[in-house]
Amino acid sequence: MPNETTNPPINKSIELHPKFVVNLDGKRTEAIIPYEEFKELQRLLEDVADIMCVEARRGEKGIPLNEVKKELENDGIL
């Protein structure tokens, strides 16, 4: 069961100020937000994606750092 130690909550909220584009029927078809709000929303979504990736891999066996370094050296990356 997740707790604050293993699954930190996301306590970030973003106040958006959208403007809407409507079609001839008055139905909203597009939303426009200020660029700074878009960047903040994008950062928050990236954080959520990172947390989901960590949660999906929780419980997998790790690889020791010395093995990773050796493999990177063998591949000519280090």
Any idea which of 10-14, 15-19, 34-38, 51-55 has the lowest mean pLDDT?
A: 10-14
pLDDT tier, 12 (very low <50, low <70, confident <90, very high otherwise)? confident
More confident residue, 27 or 9: 27
* H helices present in 1-78, as ranges: 35-57, 65-74
pTM of the predicted model, to two decimals? 0.60
42-66 tens-digit pLDDT: 999 999 999 999 999 999 999 999 9
Domain boundaries, the chain: 19-74
The tokens describing 11, both together, are 């306590």
The tokens describing 59, both together, are 């419980």
